[in-house]
Amino acid sequence: MTTQGPSFGLSGQVACVTGGNRGIGRAIALGFAQAGASVAIMARDGERSAYVRREIEALGVASHACGLDVTDRAALAPGLAQVEEALGPLDILVNNAGNTDISGGVLHQSEDGWDNAIATHLTATMLLSKLAATSMIERGSGKIINLASMYSIFGAAALPSYGAAKGGIVQLTKAMAVELAPHGIQVNAIAPGWITTEMTQVARDDPDWADFQTMLLARTPMGRWGEPEECAGAAVFLASDAARFVTGVTLPVDGGYSVF
């Protein structure tokens, strides 16, 4: 008697990754392509997106690049329509696009910085998920993966707008998971720890951040920074049939940082 194990393949699936032309987003886009999915990149920098699109197509799958700022609400529906026209109905949405506003704390937080962080991380995730889910409901299946953070859980004194937005991502993920499960749509989140991206470069390279880096590495049981590719495996799992009974979770990819 033989049993068939879970499938981690994404062949025949269509995925869209916001902010998919750099850092964690690029790694997830390439991970999906390696698993067989066609992948659309939704990001502002057209030159970077074109480069990653070529990387994806070199893996033998179709790709599309959509130039889009996720805070431009009017552009979201046409952007997703463009993706589906190019690649087919959407099966997987990854809400990855983000930024950071190191304000130094709420006493120094500007209103514009706050509004931009909430718009980029939280509002765009809700609006894009609403659009994608509307399409997915027609087929009775779909996967939505949101990018949370360790600062969804821990206090982020120096960047309260980022922490508030990422905390909201966790609750939004849970709410959408409950609402959309009857339609065959799973909604989960990934909470990266300290990953080597452009966003974290100052903490790695600036001497003024040396003590901070020492502290975070001492707190991380694995004792090192994570790589963007180490978030891609979690995304492929959550997007695959192997995770067909998983919804509403926030999966840490942080080298054990959240254990303490």
Residues 6+ apart with CB under 8 A from 171: none
The 3-state DSSP class for residue 2 equals: coil
CB count, 10 Å around CB of 170? 19
Locate all alpha helices (DSSP H) within the chain, ordered by sequence: 23-34, 46-57, 73-87, 111-117, 124-137, 160-180, 201-205, 210-219, 229-239
With both helix axes pointing from N to C terminus, report the angle between 23-34 and 46-57 in degrees, rounded to the nearest 10: 20
Specify the DSSP element, H or E, that contains 68: none
**Alpha carbon distance 118, 108 (integer Å):** 17
Q: Which residue has the tokens 């960047």?
A: 159
195 forms beta bridges with: 226
Whether 257 is a known active-site residue: answer: no
Query: How would you classify residue 88: left for phi > 0, otherwise alpha for psi between -120 and 50, otherwise beta?
Result: left
Q: Residue 131 in contact with residue 77, Cβ under 8 Å?
A: yes
Q: What are phi and psi of 142, to 5 degrees?
A: 165, 160
Residues 6+ apart with CB under 8 A from 54: none
Which of 51, 151, 162, 257 is catalytic? The answer is 162
Both structure tokens of 240 = 């695959």
The token pair that represents 76 in the structure block? 């979201």
Catalytic residue set: 162
